[in-house]
Amino acid sequence: MSEGEGQGERKPRVFSGMQPSGEAHLGNYLGALRQWVDMQNEYDCFFCVVDDHAITGEFAGEALPTRTFELAVSFLAVGLDPSRSTIFVQSDVPEHTELSWLFNAVTPVGDLERMTQYKDKTARLSSIPVGLLNYPVLQAADILIYRAELVPVGEDQIQHLELAREIARRWNARFGDVFPEPRALVSGSGRILGLDGSAKMSKSLGNTVSILAEPDEIRERVRTAVTDPQRVRRTDPGRPDFCNVYTLHEHLTDPALLPDIAEQCRTAQRGCVECKGILADAIIERFAPFRERARHYRENPEEVVAILDDGAERARSLARETMAEVRARMGLDWRKGLSR
Ligand code: TRP
């Protein structure tokens, strides 16, 4: 339980967000969602579809509503539970963007230009939208507006979290102690490589599989997965430690089967095609309840809307409290300020 003295029964607060790229995929599941689902019992969780972040990269306004909805369906499908967690869409709580503007006052441009993700994303751009530079400021606002203490993220977000801590420190130093410094909770699954065995799993690279895919599609996608490159012929011994399919087995297959899978690979008793069939079966079984729940929510979209409305309302009342304090301390609550 919480160590904080005087906090009574309050559970530590968690915030995390995911960009709306439509249905979640295997990489989202292994790298984030699986962990989010588990955190719901122990923490006061806020899980957000970050659509305001999505407009910093390339995007199509017409496609965004469906992507936002579909990611929310995926959240619910994997087992994020609106009775325990606050599940909402970022743009429904405009206080996030308001706070990010106020954080601009304490964030040096140099810090933002140093972000690895910013450098990667802008490397080939001739014209850089300022939103790409300010992306981590909005991310800091997402977290700090709820005074969240813990943020489950992938390794690629550690730098953004460090910046959020820095922003909290700088703001507190100038305006008073309002924000706790949030800690990153990096998922144990490390970097999940795509089925191509080389790039990070991502929908745009086509090297993954949707968590809502039908069994045939899962089998078909997994069949194309790249295995140990040194195992050229069926009779060559394989090296599980160098095989991305084996890594995926470690995340998804019944642990009791792993020693056999490794052994059959090393001794070339089982071919890669069959080995991938076992992985596909594990994924199909794991995702079955997700497909079931997603079907329900797609047939009843008004339930999803109601859940997100409710989440936004809960989130917003907290966000408003923080903003009232922040605005006052920064001198933006001018009517009250006059009478002091
Ligand atoms: N930048 C995160 C990512 O790409 C998404 C995100 C936005 C986020 N706001 C957040 C993650 C706040 C954690 C906390 O994965």
Are 142 and 50 a contacting pair, CB within 8 Å?
Answer: yes
Calculate the dihedral angle through the C-alpha atoms of 324, 326, 328, 329, rounding to the nearest 10 degrees. Answer: 160
Arithmetic mean of pLDDT, 14-32 = 95
| 11 labelled catalytic | no
d(CA 230, CA 131): 44
Instruction: State the average pLDDT over residues 29-51.
Output: 97
Give catalytic status of residue 121 as yes or no.
yes
Q: Domains of the chain by range and CATH?
A: 13-193+301-338 (3.40.50.620), 215-294 (1.10.240.10)
What would the mean pLDDT of 209-236 be, rounded to a whole number? 95
More confident residue, 3 or 128: 128
Q: What integer best gives the mean pLDDT of the chain?
A: 94
Residues in the chain: 340
Average pLDDT rounded to a whole number, residues 238-254: 96
* Dist CA 296 CA 88 (whole Å): 19
Higher-pLDDT residue of 8, 339: 339
Task: Say how far apart CA 227 and CA 242 lie, in whole Å.
Answer: 8
Q: Would you state the pLDDT for residue 136?
A: 98
Report whether residue 304 contacts ligand 1, using a CB cutoff of 6 Å.
Answer: no
Q: How confident is the model at residue 340 (pLDDT cuts 50, 70, 90)?
A: low
- Write out pLDDT tens, residues 89-119: 999 999 999 999 999 999 999 999 999 999 9
For the purposes of burial, counting CB atoms within 10 Å of the CB of 308, is it exposed (0-12), middle (13-18) or buried (19 or more)? buried
Task: Report the pLDDT value the prediction gives residue 10, as an integer from 0 to 100.
Answer: 86
* The pLDDT of residue 24 is above 80: yes
Q: Is the CB of 15 under 6 A from ligand 1?
A: yes
Asked whether residue 7 carries a pLDDT value surpassing 70, the answer given is no
What is the predicted pLDDT for the residue at 5?
A: 47
The C-alpha atoms of residue 114 and residue 8 are separated, in whole angstroms, by 40
Q: Whose CA is nearest to atom 8 of ligand 1?
A: 17
Question: What's the pLDDT band for 8 if we cut at 50, 70, 90?
Answer: low
Q: What residue owns the CA closest to ligand 1's atom 6?
A: 17
- Global pTM? 0.94
Ligand 1 pocket residue status of 139, Cβ below 6 Å: yes
